[in-house]
Amino acid sequence: MKKTIYLLSSLAVMAFASSCSKNDDPGTTIPVNPPAATNVDVRGSITKDTKWTAGVTYRLRGYVYVDNNATLTIEPGTKIVSNKDSAGVLIVYKGAKINAAGTADKPIVFTSAETAPKPGDFGGVIVVGNAIGNGNHEAIEGGVDAAHKAFGGTNDADNSGVLQYVRIEYGGKAVNPGDEVNGLSMYTVGSGTTVDHIQIVRGLDDAFEFFGGSFNAKYLIAYNCADDDFDLDDGYHGKIQFGVSIKDPAFNDDKGTSGDISNNFEVDNTTTAKGYLLTPITNPIMSNFTAIGPNNATGTVSTYGYNMRWRRGSKFTLANSIVMGGQRAGLDIDNDPTAKNYVDGLSGFKNSILQSYGDNYKVDALSATPAILTAAGLKTLVEGRDASKVYATAAEVGLTDPFNNTAPNLLPKTGSAAATATAAFTATALTDAFFTKTTYVGAVDPAGTDWTKAAWVSYGK
Protein backbone atom coordinates (compact mmCIF):
# COMPACT_ATOMS: atom_id res chain seq x y z
CA MET A 1 0.00 0.00 0.00
CA LYS A 2 1.29 3.43 -0.90
CA LYS A 3 1.67 5.98 1.85
CA THR A 4 1.04 9.67 1.78
CA ILE A 5 4.29 11.58 2.11
CA TYR A 6 4.33 15.13 3.43
CA LEU A 7 7.60 17.00 3.05
CA LEU A 8 8.22 20.32 4.72
CA SER A 9 9.67 22.93 2.43
CA SER A 10 13.17 24.17 3.12
CA LEU A 11 11.71 27.44 4.38
CA ALA A 12 9.61 25.59 6.94
CA VAL A 13 12.59 23.55 8.08
CA MET A 14 14.67 26.72 8.55
CA ALA A 15 11.82 28.32 10.46
CA PHE A 16 11.62 25.29 12.74
CA ALA A 17 15.34 25.47 13.44
CA SER A 18 15.19 29.15 14.29
CA SER A 19 12.33 28.50 16.72
CA CYS A 20 14.53 26.39 18.98
CA SER A 21 16.01 28.09 22.03
CA LYS A 22 18.89 26.99 24.23
CA ASN A 23 18.85 26.67 28.01
CA ASP A 24 21.80 27.40 30.21
CA ASP A 25 23.46 24.18 29.09
CA PRO A 26 25.04 25.07 25.75
CA GLY A 27 24.91 21.41 24.71
CA THR A 28 21.10 21.14 24.94
CA THR A 29 18.56 22.48 22.45
CA ILE A 30 14.90 22.71 23.48
CA PRO A 31 12.25 23.25 20.77
CA VAL A 32 9.82 26.05 21.62
CA ASN A 33 6.52 26.16 19.69
CA PRO A 34 7.81 24.81 16.36
CA PRO A 35 5.99 26.67 13.59
CA ALA A 36 3.43 25.02 11.34
CA ALA A 37 4.60 24.34 7.82
CA THR A 38 3.43 26.85 5.25
CA ASN A 39 4.43 24.73 2.24
CA VAL A 40 3.78 20.99 2.05
CA ASP A 41 4.59 18.54 -0.75
CA VAL A 42 2.10 15.74 -1.30
CA ARG A 43 2.89 12.49 -3.10
CA GLY A 44 1.47 9.00 -3.47
CA SER A 45 -1.81 7.98 -1.84
CA ILE A 46 -4.08 9.39 0.85
CA THR A 47 -5.67 6.38 2.52
CA LYS A 48 -7.17 7.88 5.68
CA ASP A 49 -9.29 10.94 6.40
CA THR A 50 -7.13 14.01 5.85
CA LYS A 51 -7.64 17.77 6.11
CA TRP A 52 -5.80 20.43 4.13
CA THR A 53 -5.93 23.78 5.87
CA ALA A 54 -6.01 27.36 4.68
CA GLY A 55 -2.71 29.15 5.18
CA VAL A 56 -0.78 26.13 3.93
CA THR A 57 0.11 25.73 0.27
CA TYR A 58 -0.01 22.09 -0.84
CA ARG A 59 2.16 21.14 -3.80
CA LEU A 60 1.15 18.01 -5.71
CA ARG A 61 4.12 16.01 -6.92
CA GLY A 62 2.84 13.78 -9.70
CA TYR A 63 -0.33 11.71 -9.29
CA VAL A 64 -1.94 11.84 -5.84
CA TYR A 65 -4.72 9.32 -5.13
CA VAL A 66 -7.44 9.67 -2.49
CA ASP A 67 -8.28 6.02 -1.88
CA ASN A 68 -9.42 3.36 0.59
CA ASN A 69 -12.75 5.15 1.33
CA ALA A 70 -10.86 8.12 2.76
CA THR A 71 -12.25 11.68 2.74
CA LEU A 72 -10.00 14.58 1.79
CA THR A 73 -11.33 17.80 3.35
CA ILE A 74 -10.01 21.08 1.96
CA GLU A 75 -10.72 24.26 3.90
CA PRO A 76 -12.00 27.42 2.22
CA GLY A 77 -9.17 29.58 0.94
CA THR A 78 -6.69 26.71 0.57
CA LYS A 79 -4.24 26.79 -2.32
CA ILE A 80 -3.05 23.64 -4.09
CA VAL A 81 -0.26 24.04 -6.64
CA SER A 82 1.94 22.13 -9.04
CA ASN A 83 5.11 22.79 -10.99
CA LYS A 84 5.45 22.03 -14.67
CA ASP A 85 8.06 19.35 -14.01
CA SER A 86 5.42 17.04 -12.53
CA ALA A 87 2.02 18.53 -13.45
CA GLY A 88 0.33 17.14 -10.35
CA VAL A 89 -3.03 15.40 -10.68
CA LEU A 90 -5.48 14.83 -7.81
CA ILE A 91 -7.55 11.65 -8.25
CA VAL A 92 -10.45 11.00 -5.87
CA TYR A 93 -11.11 7.34 -6.54
CA LYS A 94 -14.18 5.13 -6.13
CA GLY A 95 -15.46 5.01 -2.56
CA ALA A 96 -13.34 7.96 -1.47
CA LYS A 97 -14.70 11.49 -1.13
CA ILE A 98 -13.55 15.06 -1.55
CA ASN A 99 -15.01 17.72 0.73
CA ALA A 100 -13.86 20.90 -1.00
CA ALA A 101 -16.42 23.46 0.14
CA GLY A 102 -14.96 26.86 -0.57
CA THR A 103 -16.87 30.11 -0.23
CA ALA A 104 -17.50 33.06 -2.52
CA ASP A 105 -14.79 35.13 -0.82
CA LYS A 106 -12.50 32.18 -0.02
CA PRO A 107 -12.42 29.87 -3.03
CA ILE A 108 -10.26 26.77 -3.11
CA VAL A 109 -7.69 27.29 -5.86
CA PHE A 110 -5.71 24.69 -7.81
CA THR A 111 -3.05 26.48 -9.84
CA SER A 112 0.50 26.70 -11.16
CA ALA A 113 3.45 27.21 -8.82
CA GLU A 114 5.53 28.71 -11.64
CA THR A 115 6.41 32.40 -11.65
CA ALA A 116 5.29 32.56 -15.28
CA PRO A 117 2.33 30.14 -15.28
CA LYS A 118 1.32 28.32 -18.45
CA PRO A 119 -1.34 25.78 -19.39
CA GLY A 120 -0.26 22.32 -18.34
CA ASP A 121 1.67 23.37 -15.23
CA PHE A 122 -1.09 21.84 -13.11
CA GLY A 123 -2.39 18.44 -14.23
CA GLY A 124 -6.01 18.56 -13.14
CA VAL A 125 -8.64 17.10 -10.83
CA ILE A 126 -10.28 13.71 -11.45
CA VAL A 127 -13.25 12.38 -9.46
CA VAL A 128 -14.31 8.76 -9.93
CA GLY A 129 -17.62 7.40 -8.67
CA ASN A 130 -19.82 4.31 -8.78
CA ALA A 131 -22.67 5.66 -10.92
CA ILE A 132 -23.74 4.27 -14.29
CA GLY A 133 -21.88 4.79 -17.56
CA ASN A 134 -22.13 2.98 -20.87
CA GLY A 135 -18.61 1.59 -21.16
CA ASN A 136 -17.57 3.73 -24.10
CA HIS A 137 -14.21 4.45 -22.52
CA GLU A 138 -12.71 1.34 -21.01
CA ALA A 139 -10.21 3.08 -18.74
CA ILE A 140 -9.59 6.45 -17.14
CA GLU A 141 -7.51 8.69 -19.37
CA GLY A 142 -4.37 10.61 -18.56
CA GLY A 143 -1.74 8.18 -17.32
CA VAL A 144 -3.23 7.06 -14.00
CA ASP A 145 -1.74 3.86 -12.62
CA ALA A 146 -3.17 0.41 -13.37
CA ALA A 147 -4.91 0.11 -9.99
CA HIS A 148 -7.01 3.20 -10.70
CA LYS A 149 -7.96 2.86 -14.37
CA ALA A 150 -11.35 1.17 -13.91
CA PHE A 151 -14.50 3.24 -13.47
CA GLY A 152 -18.26 2.80 -13.53
CA GLY A 153 -20.82 1.12 -11.31
CA THR A 154 -24.52 0.65 -10.69
CA ASN A 155 -25.36 3.29 -8.06
CA ASP A 156 -26.62 6.48 -9.68
CA ALA A 157 -27.15 7.98 -6.19
CA ASP A 158 -23.48 7.52 -5.30
CA ASN A 159 -21.85 10.36 -3.35
CA SER A 160 -18.27 11.44 -4.13
CA GLY A 161 -18.45 14.50 -1.86
CA VAL A 162 -18.56 18.25 -2.42
CA LEU A 163 -16.95 20.63 -4.92
CA GLN A 164 -18.04 24.23 -4.30
CA TYR A 165 -16.35 27.52 -5.07
CA VAL A 166 -13.34 25.85 -6.67
CA ARG A 167 -11.05 27.30 -9.33
CA ILE A 168 -8.70 25.11 -11.38
CA GLU A 169 -6.08 27.05 -13.34
CA TYR A 170 -3.44 26.09 -15.93
CA GLY A 171 -4.51 22.44 -15.97
CA GLY A 172 -4.24 19.78 -18.64
CA LYS A 173 -1.76 16.98 -19.14
CA ALA A 174 -1.22 15.25 -22.48
CA VAL A 175 0.16 11.76 -21.90
CA ASN A 176 -0.44 10.53 -25.45
CA PRO A 177 -2.58 11.83 -28.34
CA GLY A 178 -6.18 11.52 -27.17
CA ASP A 179 -5.05 10.44 -23.70
CA GLU A 180 -5.20 13.54 -21.56
CA VAL A 181 -6.12 15.00 -18.20
CA ASN A 182 -8.67 17.83 -18.32
CA GLY A 183 -9.31 20.67 -15.90
CA LEU A 184 -12.07 18.75 -14.11
CA SER A 185 -12.81 15.17 -15.16
CA MET A 186 -15.81 13.40 -13.61
CA TYR A 187 -16.00 9.65 -14.22
CA THR A 188 -19.40 8.05 -13.45
CA VAL A 189 -20.00 10.40 -10.52
CA GLY A 190 -23.37 9.96 -8.81
CA SER A 191 -26.20 12.35 -8.01
CA GLY A 192 -25.35 12.39 -4.30
CA THR A 193 -22.35 14.57 -5.16
CA THR A 194 -22.59 18.38 -4.77
CA VAL A 195 -21.04 20.36 -7.62
CA ASP A 196 -21.46 24.12 -8.00
CA HIS A 197 -19.47 27.31 -8.51
CA ILE A 198 -16.51 25.85 -10.41
CA GLN A 199 -14.26 27.77 -12.80
CA ILE A 200 -11.67 26.20 -15.12
CA VAL A 201 -9.09 28.72 -16.36
CA ARG A 202 -6.59 28.47 -19.24
CA GLY A 203 -6.57 24.67 -19.48
CA LEU A 204 -4.49 22.80 -22.02
CA ASP A 205 -7.30 20.40 -22.99
CA ASP A 206 -11.02 20.27 -22.12
CA ALA A 207 -12.35 22.40 -19.29
CA PHE A 208 -15.04 20.01 -18.06
CA GLU A 209 -15.34 16.41 -19.26
CA PHE A 210 -18.00 14.17 -17.80
CA PHE A 211 -17.72 10.45 -18.54
CA GLY A 212 -21.11 8.94 -17.71
CA GLY A 213 -22.67 9.49 -14.32
CA SER A 214 -25.75 11.23 -13.01
CA PHE A 215 -24.54 14.16 -10.90
CA ASN A 216 -26.03 17.61 -11.36
CA ALA A 217 -24.19 20.94 -11.36
CA LYS A 218 -24.78 24.69 -11.24
CA TYR A 219 -22.64 27.76 -11.88
CA LEU A 220 -19.84 26.40 -14.05
CA ILE A 221 -17.40 28.62 -15.96
CA ALA A 222 -14.97 27.50 -18.65
CA TYR A 223 -12.60 30.33 -19.53
CA ASN A 224 -9.88 30.30 -22.19
CA CYS A 225 -9.41 26.54 -22.38
CA ALA A 226 -7.80 25.03 -25.44
CA ASP A 227 -10.16 22.22 -26.42
CA ASP A 228 -13.84 21.67 -25.64
CA ASP A 229 -15.38 23.51 -22.72
CA PHE A 230 -18.23 21.10 -21.98
CA ASP A 231 -17.31 17.63 -23.26
CA LEU A 232 -20.02 15.16 -22.21
CA ASP A 233 -20.00 11.49 -23.16
CA ASP A 234 -20.11 7.83 -22.02
CA GLY A 235 -23.78 8.12 -21.05
CA TYR A 236 -23.66 11.23 -18.84
CA HIS A 237 -27.29 11.86 -17.85
CA GLY A 238 -27.23 14.70 -15.34
CA LYS A 239 -28.60 18.23 -15.28
CA ILE A 240 -26.64 21.51 -15.47
CA GLN A 241 -27.87 25.07 -15.00
CA PHE A 242 -26.03 28.41 -15.18
CA GLY A 243 -22.99 27.73 -17.33
CA VAL A 244 -20.48 29.97 -19.10
CA SER A 245 -18.09 29.11 -21.91
CA ILE A 246 -15.64 31.74 -23.17
CA LYS A 247 -13.02 31.08 -25.84
CA ASP A 248 -9.70 32.83 -26.44
CA PRO A 249 -9.59 33.24 -30.24
CA ALA A 250 -5.81 32.78 -30.31
CA PHE A 251 -5.58 29.65 -28.13
CA ASN A 252 -6.84 26.18 -28.91
CA ASP A 253 -5.83 22.54 -29.01
CA ASP A 254 -4.62 21.77 -32.53
CA LYS A 255 -4.75 18.00 -32.96
CA GLY A 256 -3.62 18.14 -36.56
CA THR A 257 -5.41 15.82 -38.99
CA SER A 258 -7.44 13.96 -36.35
CA GLY A 259 -10.55 16.02 -37.01
CA ASP A 260 -10.78 16.87 -33.32
CA ILE A 261 -11.42 20.61 -33.11
CA SER A 262 -12.23 23.02 -30.28
CA ASN A 263 -15.85 23.72 -29.42
CA ASN A 264 -17.93 25.29 -26.67
CA PHE A 265 -19.96 22.06 -26.43
CA GLU A 266 -18.95 18.63 -27.71
CA VAL A 267 -21.38 15.88 -26.76
CA ASP A 268 -20.97 12.24 -27.80
CA ASN A 269 -22.53 8.95 -26.86
CA THR A 270 -20.01 6.38 -28.07
CA THR A 271 -17.29 6.12 -30.68
CA THR A 272 -17.82 5.06 -34.26
CA ALA A 273 -16.24 1.69 -33.50
CA LYS A 274 -18.89 1.01 -30.82
CA GLY A 275 -21.78 1.96 -33.02
CA TYR A 276 -23.08 5.05 -31.17
CA LEU A 277 -25.89 3.19 -29.40
CA LEU A 278 -24.52 1.88 -26.09
CA THR A 279 -26.84 2.67 -23.18
CA PRO A 280 -27.48 4.73 -21.21
CA ILE A 281 -27.43 7.27 -24.02
CA THR A 282 -25.56 10.47 -23.23
CA ASN A 283 -28.40 12.90 -22.49
CA PRO A 284 -27.50 16.10 -20.61
CA ILE A 285 -30.35 18.43 -19.68
CA MET A 286 -29.04 22.01 -19.57
CA SER A 287 -30.46 25.49 -19.14
CA ASN A 288 -29.25 29.09 -18.79
CA PHE A 289 -25.89 28.95 -20.52
CA THR A 290 -24.00 31.77 -22.18
CA ALA A 291 -21.44 30.40 -24.65
CA ILE A 292 -19.06 32.73 -26.48
CA GLY A 293 -17.03 31.52 -29.48
CA PRO A 294 -14.20 33.41 -31.20
CA ASN A 295 -16.50 35.17 -33.73
CA ASN A 296 -13.56 35.35 -36.16
CA ALA A 297 -11.78 37.94 -34.06
CA THR A 298 -8.33 39.04 -35.18
CA GLY A 299 -5.89 36.21 -34.55
CA THR A 300 -8.49 33.41 -34.50
CA VAL A 301 -6.72 30.10 -35.12
CA SER A 302 -7.97 27.93 -37.97
CA THR A 303 -8.78 24.85 -35.92
CA TYR A 304 -11.69 26.37 -34.02
CA GLY A 305 -14.90 24.43 -34.54
CA TYR A 306 -18.46 25.03 -33.45
CA ASN A 307 -20.43 26.56 -30.65
CA MET A 308 -22.33 23.27 -30.32
CA ARG A 309 -21.27 19.91 -31.73
CA TRP A 310 -23.78 17.15 -30.99
CA ARG A 311 -22.70 13.81 -32.41
CA ARG A 312 -22.20 10.03 -32.16
CA GLY A 313 -25.70 9.16 -31.08
CA SER A 314 -26.12 11.62 -28.22
CA LYS A 315 -29.34 13.24 -27.05
CA PHE A 316 -29.53 16.64 -25.39
CA THR A 317 -31.64 19.51 -24.20
CA LEU A 318 -30.08 22.97 -24.15
CA ALA A 319 -32.67 25.59 -23.23
CA ASN A 320 -32.99 29.24 -22.27
CA SER A 321 -29.44 29.95 -23.42
CA ILE A 322 -27.43 32.47 -25.42
CA VAL A 323 -24.90 30.98 -27.87
CA MET A 324 -22.73 33.34 -29.92
CA GLY A 325 -19.69 33.58 -32.15
CA GLY A 326 -19.38 30.02 -33.46
CA GLN A 327 -16.57 29.81 -35.98
CA ARG A 328 -17.45 27.01 -38.40
CA ALA A 329 -21.09 26.92 -37.37
CA GLY A 330 -23.34 27.59 -34.42
CA LEU A 331 -25.19 24.26 -34.17
CA ASP A 332 -23.70 21.14 -35.75
CA ILE A 333 -25.37 17.70 -35.85
CA ASP A 334 -23.23 14.70 -36.80
CA ASN A 335 -24.17 11.05 -37.44
CA ASP A 336 -27.56 9.51 -38.22
CA PRO A 337 -28.63 8.51 -34.67
CA THR A 338 -27.97 12.05 -33.41
CA ALA A 339 -29.97 13.51 -36.29
CA LYS A 340 -32.86 11.10 -35.69
CA ASN A 341 -32.95 12.05 -32.00
CA TYR A 342 -33.38 15.67 -33.04
CA VAL A 343 -36.03 14.95 -35.64
CA ASP A 344 -37.97 12.80 -33.16
CA GLY A 345 -37.95 15.55 -30.53
CA LEU A 346 -35.69 13.62 -28.16
CA SER A 347 -33.18 16.48 -28.44
CA GLY A 348 -33.69 20.20 -28.67
CA PHE A 349 -32.02 23.62 -28.66
CA LYS A 350 -35.01 25.24 -27.04
CA ASN A 351 -36.16 28.78 -26.40
CA SER A 352 -32.66 30.15 -26.91
CA ILE A 353 -30.71 32.74 -28.87
CA LEU A 354 -28.14 31.90 -31.56
CA GLN A 355 -25.67 34.09 -33.46
CA SER A 356 -22.76 32.67 -35.45
CA TYR A 357 -19.85 33.89 -37.50
CA GLY A 358 -20.09 30.73 -39.61
CA ASP A 359 -23.28 29.03 -40.72
CA ASN A 360 -25.95 28.89 -38.09
CA TYR A 361 -26.72 25.24 -38.88
CA LYS A 362 -24.67 22.34 -40.16
CA VAL A 363 -25.55 18.65 -40.54
CA ASP A 364 -22.90 16.19 -41.70
CA ALA A 365 -21.45 12.69 -41.38
CA LEU A 366 -24.84 11.20 -42.28
CA SER A 367 -25.09 7.98 -44.26
CA ALA A 368 -28.80 7.30 -44.83
CA THR A 369 -30.33 8.13 -48.20
CA PRO A 370 -32.33 10.28 -48.24
CA ALA A 371 -30.68 12.14 -45.37
CA ILE A 372 -32.49 12.02 -42.05
CA LEU A 373 -31.89 15.75 -41.58
CA THR A 374 -30.52 18.68 -43.54
CA ALA A 375 -29.29 22.09 -42.42
CA ALA A 376 -32.53 23.60 -43.74
CA GLY A 377 -34.57 21.02 -41.89
CA LEU A 378 -32.64 21.68 -38.70
CA LYS A 379 -33.33 25.40 -39.05
CA THR A 380 -37.04 24.70 -39.34
CA LEU A 381 -37.04 22.57 -36.19
CA VAL A 382 -34.91 24.94 -34.10
CA GLU A 383 -36.75 28.13 -35.05
CA GLY A 384 -40.19 26.53 -35.23
CA ARG A 385 -40.79 23.59 -32.93
CA ASP A 386 -38.07 24.61 -30.43
CA ALA A 387 -38.86 28.36 -30.46
CA SER A 388 -35.27 29.61 -30.62
CA LYS A 389 -34.30 32.85 -32.35
CA VAL A 390 -31.36 33.60 -34.61
CA TYR A 391 -29.64 36.96 -35.07
CA ALA A 392 -27.22 37.98 -37.79
CA THR A 393 -24.87 40.01 -35.60
CA ALA A 394 -23.69 40.04 -32.02
CA ALA A 395 -24.86 43.63 -31.68
CA GLU A 396 -28.44 42.50 -32.31
CA VAL A 397 -28.22 40.04 -29.40
CA GLY A 398 -27.11 42.83 -27.08
CA LEU A 399 -24.70 41.51 -24.48
CA THR A 400 -22.56 44.26 -22.96
CA ASP A 401 -19.06 43.13 -24.00
CA PRO A 402 -18.96 39.37 -24.65
CA PHE A 403 -15.88 39.29 -26.88
CA ASN A 404 -13.64 41.30 -24.55
CA ASN A 405 -11.56 38.29 -23.61
CA THR A 406 -9.58 39.97 -20.85
CA ALA A 407 -12.66 41.30 -19.08
CA PRO A 408 -15.78 39.73 -20.58
CA ASN A 409 -19.11 41.25 -19.65
CA LEU A 410 -22.06 38.94 -20.33
CA LEU A 411 -24.76 41.19 -18.87
CA PRO A 412 -27.58 41.85 -21.39
CA LYS A 413 -28.03 45.50 -22.25
CA THR A 414 -31.28 47.12 -21.23
CA GLY A 415 -33.93 46.63 -23.91
CA SER A 416 -31.84 44.21 -25.96
CA ALA A 417 -33.01 40.93 -27.45
CA ALA A 418 -31.03 39.12 -24.75
CA ALA A 419 -32.63 41.18 -21.98
CA THR A 420 -36.21 40.89 -23.18
CA ALA A 421 -36.25 37.17 -24.08
CA THR A 422 -38.36 35.11 -21.69
CA ALA A 423 -37.36 31.70 -20.35
CA ALA A 424 -39.59 28.65 -20.61
CA PHE A 425 -39.42 25.49 -18.50
CA THR A 426 -42.45 23.76 -19.95
CA ALA A 427 -40.56 20.93 -21.64
CA THR A 428 -40.83 17.75 -19.56
CA ALA A 429 -37.06 17.53 -19.03
CA LEU A 430 -36.99 21.04 -17.57
CA THR A 431 -39.82 20.71 -15.03
CA ASP A 432 -37.52 18.96 -12.56
CA ALA A 433 -37.16 20.76 -9.20
CA PHE A 434 -33.41 20.99 -9.77
CA PHE A 435 -33.91 23.86 -12.19
CA THR A 436 -34.35 27.40 -10.88
CA LYS A 437 -37.26 28.65 -12.98
CA THR A 438 -35.77 31.91 -14.22
CA THR A 439 -37.66 34.47 -16.25
CA TYR A 440 -34.56 35.28 -18.33
CA VAL A 441 -32.40 33.41 -20.82
CA GLY A 442 -28.62 33.07 -20.59
CA ALA A 443 -26.42 32.69 -17.54
CA VAL A 444 -26.77 36.23 -16.20
CA ASP A 445 -29.92 37.88 -14.85
CA PRO A 446 -30.34 41.27 -16.58
CA ALA A 447 -31.98 42.65 -13.45
CA GLY A 448 -29.90 40.91 -10.81
CA THR A 449 -26.37 40.51 -9.46
CA ASP A 450 -23.89 39.19 -12.03
CA TRP A 451 -22.51 36.01 -10.43
CA THR A 452 -19.83 35.77 -13.14
CA LYS A 453 -18.21 38.90 -11.63
CA ALA A 454 -18.02 37.55 -8.07
CA ALA A 455 -14.79 37.41 -6.08
CA TRP A 456 -14.21 33.68 -6.69
CA VAL A 457 -14.10 34.21 -10.47
CA SER A 458 -10.84 35.16 -12.21
CA TYR A 459 -10.40 36.59 -15.71
CA GLY A 460 -7.49 38.08 -17.63
CA LYS A 461 -5.36 34.90 -17.72
Predicted confidence (pLDDT) per residue in 234-253, tens digit? 999 999 999 999 999 999 98
Q: Confidence band (pLDDT; 50, 70, 90) for 10? A: very low
- Would you list the DSSP string of 430-460? G-STTS---SS-SSS-TTS--GGGSTT----
Distant-in-sequence, close-in-space partners of 219: CB < 8 Å, separation ≥ 6: 196, 197, 198, 242, 243, 451
How many C-beta atoms lie closer than 10 Å to residue 296's C-beta?
15
Q: Do 118 and 82 meet the contact criterion of CB atoms below 8 Å apart?
A: no
Q: What is the structure's pLDDT at 176?
A: 76
Pairing type for strands 29-31 and 20-22 reads antiparallel
Q: What is the structure's pLDDT at 409?
A: 98
Burial of 260 (0-12, 13-18, 19+ CB in 10 A): middle
Q: What is the mean pLDDT of residues 145-173?
A: 97
Q: What is the structure's pLDDT at 254?
A: 77
Q: What are the b/e assignments for 387-417, b being 16+ CB within 10 Å?
A: ebbbbeebeebbbbebbebeebbbbbbeebb
Distance CA 437, CA 431 (A): 9
Q: What is the structure's pLDDT at 35?
A: 66
pLDDT beyond 70 at 186:
yes
pLDDT beyond 60 at 13:
no
pLDDT beyond 50 at 426:
yes
How many C-beta atoms lie closer than 10 Å to residue 170's C-beta?
28
Predicted confidence (pLDDT) per residue in 131-144, tens digit? 999 999 999 999 99
Q: What are the b/e assignments for 95-131, b being 16+ CB within 10 Å?
A: bbbbbbbbeeeebbbbbbbeeebebbbbbbbbbbbbb
Return the sign of the alpha-carbon dihedral for residues 22, 27, 28, 34. Answer: positive
Q: Confidence band (pLDDT; 50, 70, 90) for 83? A: very high
Q: What is the structure's pLDDT at 19?
A: 40
Distant-in-sequence, close-in-space partners of 426: CB < 8 Å, separation ≥ 6: none
Distance CA 228, CA 220 (A): 14
pLDDT beyond 70 at 62:
yes
What pTM was computed for the model?
Answer: 0.93
pLDDT beyond 70 at 256:
no
Dihedral, 412, 416, 422, 423 alpha carbons, nearest 10: -30
Q: Confidence band (pLDDT; 50, 70, 90) for 259? A: low
Distance CA 243, CA 268 (A): 19
Q: Do 109 and 201 meet the contact criterion of CB atoms below 8 Å apart?
A: no
3-state secondary structure of 384: helix
Q: C-alpha angle 414/412/267, rounded to 5°?
A: 155
End-to-end Cα separation, the chain, in angstroms: 40
Q: Do 9 and 38 meet the contact criterion of CB atoms below 8 Å apart?
A: yes
Q: What is the structure's pLDDT at 253?
A: 85
Q: What is the mean pLDDT of residues 349-377?
A: 97
Q: Say which range, 168-172, 253-257, 281-285, 353-357, has the weakest mean pLDDT.
A: 253-257
Q: What is the structure's pLDDT at 8?
A: 42
Q: Confidence band (pLDDT; 50, 70, 90) for 1? A: very low
Distance CA 72, CA 66 (A): 7
Q: Confidence band (pLDDT; 50, 70, 90) for 175? A: confident
> Mean pLDDT for the chain?
93
Q: What is the mean pLDDT of residues 210-227?
A: 98
Extended strands (E) in 16-140: 20-22, 29-31, 39-46, 50-52, 57-66, 71-74, 79-82, 89-92, 97-101, 108-112, 124-128
Helix/strand/coil percentages in the chain, nearest 5: 10, 35, 55
Q: What is the mean pLDDT of residues 111-135?
A: 97
Predicted confidence (pLDDT) per residue in 292-326, tens digit? 999 999 999 988 999 999 999 999 999 999 999 99
